[in-house]
Structure 1
């Protein structure tokens, strides 16, 4: 450690105090875990110099922070208190990070701009990208951040400064994750002010770095990314760490691009208290780590430089010990969360999409032409983008033309999505509000999460439902959970538009999938699936204006069908979620369905009424999560016979839950067993003669109706 002129003596003493405070907080948590007063412990030990340096080089409440579970020291340096952190360890009701919902070391603070993290590794890298993009967007278009009353609520205060840095940290093991590399691509391409910190302690639990990273050094692998500032340093040397962090932050703040600081640190304690590193690390290796302990190094340096003497060190450490003890005493006495808090903040409690405010009627306009579902979705997107400057649209191929000079000159018509649903958006609103993403679905959703956390309203497209699975990690572990895991302090109301389904005559395995029940099984996300143009426009507008994440499923076969056309219902037409629509009244049998099975159910109902006089009631659920139980119950009580029909496979499908609830709550109203009609338990074949048998057809429904009516 060389002398420094960039930090005053007082700052150097505070540097050491924060490092020691972090270590002693770790030690206190270990004691509490062994006393069974907390339930999990994972430490920051050995990372303190690198992280305090980052905290002192950046600005709390100004810059933005996406930490991971080793980041105790930077959070303390930013202004988190020991009591804040120990309240989380206890799982107290007053835990400011999560209200007892998250494990310890999942830091969160709206005041300090520390964004709630998950236990997943590397997902936060894409959130940081979106956050940085949002900061740049609001700086360029400050009117988008201004409060106005063009919505059902005023926009929240949106923080932006123009030169902020977005910090994101990651362990060296997590650099193997795809989201890390996807984030580097976008940070590099966009010259985004993102400061990556790789905390390399040599081990991903028990896997050493050479088994995880080719060549054993991540810096060598990423060295050719353009627009980056790179630094590889001894992360146990506080002075070197501070110099590197100041330089990296200045590079980002000046608008030159992203930076990455790769700090070689140590891990003097096991991965967590549930792990015993002596099973896979030799005594000699552990002793070598101990010789590089940043706490000891900083203490000796302060003594050698005459900044503190032994008495000063002892006094500082005694005060820290007392502070940690007081915080621990208060934390273990704190009240625990109440049982009635469990369901709070799963969804927005201020702007429910089921609210009567979204129950609007179509209004007559000068445009009386009937339009397809595709047309009205496109019109809705344009309406909403004109109304709300926070809305951006991106995904694969959604722009008219990325190289837009020929587009502006009129030489090119433009693409606007493989189904043309985003046609004209880039042309009207520009490249900053509609653009093509990389071919990476996790990149699309992860960036959208970071943008929405900052106050933007991303409406993103996954090109085909069949390829949604790379984004599943972001959807299940991040998007759905941010509001709940932060106890309502963060939210990310994005809209994901996804073309879905078969009946395409040649769509085959990878362009015909359904799987909506996988997502309706996920709390925290709303799922809707319209069957006609009018419902598509009304539900999409509600999705955009509400405050929850929404998976908006658009059946490809219905995009341009003539029978589901509608006239334009006006720029404020909305439909509440959870409100089914009875599209055919009947008294003998109820069919509950949605999506492309709706017109097939109607065909079957009309034919069997002509042939046999059986009167079938058809209900289009429209909204799958939430769903309209009252409409279902009312119809079943009337007809006493019910069929649930859906395009997805029969087993473990969406209909199973509805059938189970009907059997549970409406058993005495039934005159026949609940029947399901769905796809075969296989995949959709390319050959149309096979597809016709695999997917539910009108004749399948006709047969089920006849059998049920005769029961």
Structure 2
């Protein structure tokens, strides 16, 4: 499929303009004028309070439309930014669909009324859902391109890939200051990915001029010398120059010769958005001078001067466009809006429920006891054998990036050896190292997942996950909901977490699970032993939602956490806890490394006739409210023990829920035991005093029992 060529109703008067056929020149003009007119119509609607936000693509129509004309909708992949209205029109998004977005209709194909207008998305045309954070889509583009290269070379997957797919991604000049832009460009260039990066440079990031954002004032000059990167500058207000350039570049991307960056200078005749007034920071003289380069009147003059069309021809095109807009606007205003019942739909998959009995199976013990490291490794091997869509990457996860030396070295396989041997067995295409850049890891994984693959990535330490938080919070966890199920991001992020190591200190001992359980759309798991880790990881991989898999590094090789290999199909449903010690006097709700400490405390208390029931939650989002409720109704007293800090930690949510739902069943206040509100120190005595110990559990439980 080629890009949409609207019938202008005008018979061309000249054959070619700059190598572009006359009828296509007129189609370009129609698309550009339609884009500007839609902006103007949305502005009118906003002023009438019939819509709620407006941001325009004015000044960007030439380069945006040209890119759409040079590529293949429903074949290539598109990650546009908010000024790419003309691109979307060129690819086949209709005027009515754009108005549906503006009015917040449930029929809006981009989001069903969930996102601002100009946050593009169209599953049929392969226009990926766009969020508001600038630059995050760059890493998705890299991941999608990687997945395209992998898929087209993998026999079992190739039928799901179109021949020689190319990825388009665009940003404004302001976004080139974002770290994720540079992380993505590093990967795109280093791997020579078939990505067309278009920087649409209108000179401003809202009010901040380009010389403040960019060293030397030119982003393209900064990339000189980068390998595998074709760099071109173009007048972004000249649609013919842009189209000719894109038609030169795209075949080279399809041939897998290079990646490409196009730096297009555009104008911005309107303010950043309707929430902005650019006369506050731009002079009238500057705005008037820039208006001379406005792509639409300039291109119209050229079409007439070059004999492609007459003034009457262009007037006829404009008249038809305005009639189309009037009809589309009327239809959108009459369209249905989402109701309150739609709010909770598609937060998670409605087709695959990892909390259901479908994910419950019994282990088939092998009789071979292994550590948590070993059984996680087993699960990864089993699942990679079962599903060629699974890829594993992250920092240091490969045995050796230079695979030619594998026969001479033992191999790395992760700093904790969890992925040891996977590269040797499954090859460089499926197990590979990433740069030291956490956002890069998660953002690329999102791209792989969006292209239909199943990435299982590793962040080396929980303490270093924070650069990836934007990707986790605003992209991965929100993708399904914000697109109303048009797109999804089913990936697994494995993360070693927690303290109790001695010497881990401030930056190798962090917890903080609550910062991730707070994100709707993300499932969070924290096993306390090897067998549970194996079964829960298998469920995480096979489910259709993103999962943060917290592996407590203190438990990796503890003898008490070992378990028998359960076979290659053992699964545990998410959100189901486990009673690891039965009792009737009080309940201890916990997870992770505190499960063992709570069990030991319960055994000690038993000697004094105090019977404590210990619940291992295993999953944190969701967590087993039913099991906790049943236990608390039985014991009437509850202690919540958790490794997050006491203030604002995950256990505070459990305690609040119990107080709300089970108040009349309680014979004592809900108690909490947690890490002190301070970082974990290097000296062992500091660590022991900061983290909850077995003696602390005993003390708090005894005090609760005696209440």
Q: Distance in 2 between matches of 1:49 and 1:293?
A: 10
1:115 aligns with 2:115: no
Q: Distance in 2 between matches of 1:649 and 1:107?
A: 40
**Cα drift, residue 5 of structure 1:** 4.8
Partner SS for 1:510: coil
Q: Which residue pairs with 1:618 in the alignment?
A: 614
Q: Which residue pairs with 1:462 in the alignment?
A: 459
Q: Which residue pairs with 1:662 in the alignment?
A: 658
Is the 8 Å Cα contact of residues 194 and 254 (structure 2) preserved in structure 1?
Answer: yes
**Cα drift, residue 163 of structure 1:** 1.5
Partner SS for 2:20: coil
1:671 aligns with 2:667: yes
1:273 aligns with 2:270: no
Is the 8 Å Cα contact of residues 19 and 52 (structure 1) preserved in structure 2?
Answer: yes
Q: Distance in 1 between matches of 2:442 and 2:19?
A: 41
Is the 8 Å Cα contact of residues 172 and 209 (structure 1) preserved in structure 2?
Answer: yes
Q: Which residue pairs with 2:29 in the alignment?
A: 16
Q: Which residue pairs with 2:563 in the alignment?
A: 566
Q: Which residue pairs with 1:501 in the alignment?
A: 498
**TM-score, length of structure 1 as denominator length:** 0.97
Q: Which residue pairs with 2:4 in the alignment?
A: none
**What per-residue deviation string (whole Å, max 9, x for no partner) do you get for residues 384-403 of structure 1?**
00000000000000000111
1:707 aligns with 2:703: yes
Q: Distance in 1 between matches of 2:409 and 2:458?
A: 23
Q: Out of 9, 20, 40, which is 1:7 matched to?
A: 20
1:204 aligns with 2:201: no
Q: Which residue pairs with 1:124 in the alignment?
A: 137
1:342 aligns with 2:343: yes
1:398 aligns with 2:397: yes
1:55 aligns with 2:68: yes
Partner SS for 1:548: coil
Q: Distance in 2 between matches of 1:281 and 1:238?
A: 26
Q: Which residue pairs with 1:241 in the alignment?
A: 242
**Where do residues 504-653 of structure 1 align in structure 2 (5 Å cutoff)?**
504-610=501-607, 612-653=608-649
Segments of 5+ residues of structure 2 without an aligned counterpart are 1-14
**Cα drift, residue 251 of structure 1:** 2.0
Q: Out of 409, 415, 432, which is 1:435 matched to?
A: 432
Partner SS for 2:489: coil
Is the 8 Å Cα contact of residues 400 and 426 (structure 1) preserved in structure 2?
Answer: yes
**Cα drift, residue 3 of structure 1:** 6.8
**Cα drift, residue 507 of structure 1:** 0.4
Is the 8 Å Cα contact of residues 248 and 261 (structure 1) preserved in structure 2?
Answer: no
Partner SS for 1:125: helix
Q: Which residue pairs with 1:382 in the alignment?
A: 381
Q: Which residue pairs with 2:297 in the alignment?
A: 296
Q: Which residue pairs with 1:86 in the alignment?
A: 99
Q: Distance in 2 between matches of 1:16 and 1:4?
A: 13
Is the 8 Å Cα contact of residues 130 and 448 (structure 1) preserved in structure 2?
Answer: yes
Is the 8 Å Cα contact of residues 248 and 260 (structure 1) preserved in structure 2?
Answer: no
Q: Which residue pairs with 1:684 in the alignment?
A: 680
Q: Out of 103, 119, 134, which is 2:116 matched to?
A: 103
**What per-residue deviation string (whole Å, max 9, x for no partner) do you get for residues 234-277 of structure 1?**
11111111111111212211211110110000000000011000
**Where do residues 445-484 of structure 1 align in structure 2 (5 Å cutoff)?**
445-484=442-481
Q: Which deviates more from structure 2 when the two are superposed, residues 233-242 or residues 83-92?
A: 233-242
**What per-residue deviation string (whole Å, max 9, x for no partner) do you get for residues 81-111 of structure 1?**
0110110000011111111000000111111
Partner SS for 1:348: coil
Partner SS for 2:549: strand
Q: Which deviates more from structure 2 when the two are superposed, residues 562-571 or residues 392-401?
A: 562-571
Is the 8 Å Cα contact of residues 372 and 533 (structure 1) preserved in structure 2?
Answer: yes
**What per-residue deviation string (whole Å, max 9, x for no partner) do you get for residues 451-504 of structure 1?**
101100000000000000000010100001000000001001000000000000
1:331 aligns with 2:332: yes
Is the 8 Å Cα contact of residues 195 and 260 (structure 2) preserved in structure 1?
Answer: yes
**Cα drift, residue 162 of structure 1:** 3.7
1:424 aligns with 2:432: no
Q: Which residue pairs with 1:351 in the alignment?
A: 352
Is the 8 Å Cα contact of residues 610 and 705 (structure 2) preserved in structure 1?
Answer: yes
Q: Distance in 1 between matches of 2:77 and 2:231?
A: 20
Is the 8 Å Cα contact of residues 187 and 257 (structure 1) preserved in structure 2?
Answer: no
**Cα drift, residue 423 of structure 1:** 0.2
Q: Distance in 1 between matches of 2:546 and 2:18?
A: 49
**What per-residue deviation string (whole Å, max 9, x for no partner) do you get for residues 290-337 of structure 1?**
100100111111111111111111111000001011111111111110
Is the 8 Å Cα contact of residues 17 and 306 (structure 2) preserved in structure 1?
Answer: no
Structure 1 residue runs of 4 or more that deviate by more than 4 Å after TM superposition? none
1:321 aligns with 2:334: no
Q: Out of 33, 36, 53, which is 1:40 matched to?
A: 53
Is the 8 Å Cα contact of residues 448 and 460 (structure 1) preserved in structure 2?
Answer: yes
The count of aligned residue pairs is 693
Q: Which residue pairs with 2:369 in the alignment?
A: 370
Q: Distance in 1 between matches of 2:234 and 2:106?
A: 40
Q: Out of 115, 118, 136, which is 2:149 matched to?
A: 136
**Cα drift, residue 145 of structure 1:** 5.2
Q: Distance in 2 between matches of 1:217 and 1:120?
A: 22
Q: Which residue pairs with 1:150 in the alignment?
A: none
Q: Distance in 1 between matches of 2:448 and 2:316?
A: 45
Q: Distance in 2 between matches of 1:564 and 1:696?
A: 19
Q: Which residue pairs with 2:11 in the alignment?
A: none
Q: Distance in 1 between matches of 2:235 and 2:564?
A: 66
**Cα drift, residue 552 of structure 1:** 0.2
Is the 8 Å Cα contact of residues 17 and 25 (structure 2) preserved in structure 1?
Answer: no
Q: Which deviates more from structure 2 when the two are superposed, residues 219-228 or residues 17-26?
A: 219-228
1:74 aligns with 2:75: no
Is the 8 Å Cα contact of residues 16 and 22 (structure 2) preserved in structure 1?
Answer: no
Q: Which residue pairs with 2:216 in the alignment?
A: 215
Partner SS for 1:44: coil
Q: Which residue pairs with 2:12 in the alignment?
A: none
**Cα drift, residue 161 of structure 1:** 2.5
Q: Distance in 1 between matches of 2:403 and 2:643?
A: 39
Is the 8 Å Cα contact of residues 463 and 499 (structure 1) preserved in structure 2?
Answer: yes
Is the 8 Å Cα contact of residues 18 and 240 (structure 2) preserved in structure 1?
Answer: no
**Cα drift, residue 142 of structure 1:** 3.0
Q: Which residue pairs with 2:226 in the alignment?
A: 225
**TM-score, length of structure 2 as denominator length:** 0.97
Segments of 5+ residues of structure 1 without an aligned counterpart are 147-157
Q: Distance in 2 between matches of 1:237 and 1:335?
A: 39
Is the 8 Å Cα contact of residues 123 and 486 (structure 2) preserved in structure 1?
Answer: yes
Q: Which deviates more from structure 2 when the two are superposed, residues 560-569 or residues 389-398?
A: 560-569
Is the 8 Å Cα contact of residues 251 and 259 (structure 1) preserved in structure 2?
Answer: no
Q: Distance in 1 between matches of 2:18 and 2:525?
A: 60
**What per-residue deviation string (whole Å, max 9, x for no partner) do you get for residues 46-76 of structure 1?**
0000011100011101110001111100000
